[in-house]
Structure 1
Amino acid sequence: MSAKHTTLFQLSHCLEYGLIIMGRDVKKAVLCVQCNLCVYGGRSGDDVSRKHMRTKSICLFMPPYRPKLYRKHFEKQHAEGWFKYQGLSKAEKQMFFN
């Protein structure tokens, strides 16, 4: 793999994007992270015109870790919660999921 495809997880993303580390390997490298907005807020309401119901599963992100993918998920699945979370200060973000 080239360097651009092996993006390591940055710990600052936990607070910035509301993620939690779910697994590490023996060298302590992050294997997967979980969306806390899925855990605590659920996903956006079901649209009545949809043919199938939206999934209730919790989103897990695996390498390569790209903020673009986090934002895409938040905008589609947690639009209202993501908007609120972005407006919080650092201290408020630390308390948001408690």
Structure 2
Amino acid sequence: MVPGFQTNVFRYTANLVTGPPSTLTVLPNTYLGPTISVNTGDNVHVHFQNNLLVETTTHWHGLDVTEAADGHPKDAMPAGGSYDYDFIVRNRAGTYWYDDW
């Protein structure tokens, strides 16, 4: 966040659904998680709250981030834990994705 510049804040809450794979329904024109659109040079801050009953982490596929922001399984958050991912987008334009594991 930089004084004088617009800061976009998004909040997203996901719920764990149990059952067979058919339990998960993807609706047309939607995504399973929020789409995060950023530009080269943007500062990204993501507060991740783990409300699952198991440990998890968020990994950014293809983004050039620091080890602390990479979401490696060795850094998994315990159930009820949280983590703040902070990084500057250094990549050129492209399609990247993230997942939790």
Task: Tell me which interval the TM-score lies in, with the shorter structure as reference length.
Answer: under 0.3
TM-score (norm 1): 0.24
TM value normalised by structure 2: 0.24
Greater fraction of residues in strand = 2
The structure richer in helix per residue is 1
